[in-house]
Structure 1
């Protein structure tokens, strides 16, 4: 179901993706628990769908929940937590909450650099986002 939802997302079939993603989340919550990494991944996927639908508040709410739960369950510097932090920063930027977004992506970049190393693709992704946002502010 999660794979089919991903296919729908890739095809831009946002409503179909959303319906399946909600089912996947509910099933994973029941079978695996609310704080299981697979459940959190499903929630992050739904947040991505919400972003593509222009539902910024829904996306932000889910991204915050994923990040906070990841911090508690996996640790503040776990790669999955850092991915959720990156996603939340992007969502905040789309909501024109630039100061919050900038502070969060800066923190994410620093943690990724420490944990993953300077050359890691995730670290570079956060650095690119940070650099682009800096350039927009100048």
Structure 2
């Protein structure tokens, strides 16, 4: 691609993206992050900082930075990306909502469980308003909020949230859907944690 089309051709940039993607999925998260950092430089120079493909490269770089062990760096990168996405795409664009979700996720994995829960609570308001209460992304956001609420120390709140979510899942997806079964598992997990906490208190 580089020899025939040149380093800045759209198909060359796509090949760089795919190489980085599969390098990560082959187990080399650090290599993927480095490759996406290189791709981002090309994308900014060729396409500009606000092009959708540039924003995607930023997202992929942040994602693999987190999987390479730098959760705080991933959170910081998604915070920066979110500012770009809100300005360029608007607060309700699907990619902006995804950036909010990723920021909350990595904030939690960087050690700020309470901050992650707060961020998912804010995101949930957006998703309900934009996508509706029964959209899969809304249900996923409810699940993430409940989980991080538990990780922040509120096991009872997490169990209650998963119990409420389970009713939604059964109604929207059915009792045998994989997401419904995952929700049942999460509910059981936090109920068990409540029991452990109660026993410890006793």
**TM-superposed deviation, 1:133:** 2.1
What residue number does 1:40 align with?
55
Partner Cα separation in structure 1 for residue 33 and residue 148 of structure 2: 29
Give the number of equivalent residue pairs: 138
- 5+ long unaligned stretches in structure 1: none
TM-score (norm 1): 0.92
What residue number does 2:35 align with?
20
| 1:56 aligns to 2:71 (yes or no) | yes
Partner Cα separation in structure 1 for residue 134 and residue 54 of structure 2: 29
2:83 to 68, 73, 77: 68
Q: SS at the partner of 2:134?
A: coil
TM-score (norm 2): 0.64
**TM-superposed deviation, 1:99:** 2.3
Partner Cα separation in structure 2 for residue 67 and residue 50 of structure 1: 16
Residues 18-66 of structure 1, C-alpha deviations (whole Å, 9 max, x = no match): 2221121111101111122211111111111111111123212211111
Partner Cα separation in structure 2 for residue 98 and residue 57 of structure 1: 13
Worse overlay, 41-50 or 96-105: 96-105
The 8 Å contact of residues 66 and 106 in structure 2, kept in 1 or not, is answered as: yes
How large is the Cα RMSD of the aligned pairs?
1.3
What residue number does 1:101 align with?
116
Partner Cα separation in structure 2 for residue 61 and residue 96 of structure 1: 13
User: Which runs of 4 or more aligned residues in structure 1 lie more than 4 Å from their structure 2 counterparts after TM superposition?
Assistant: none
What residue number does 2:144 align with?
129
Partner Cα separation in structure 1 for residue 150 and residue 116 of structure 2: 14
The 8 Å contact of residues 29 and 39 in structure 1, kept in 2 or not, is answered as: yes
Alignment of 1:76-87 (within 5 A): 76-87=91-102
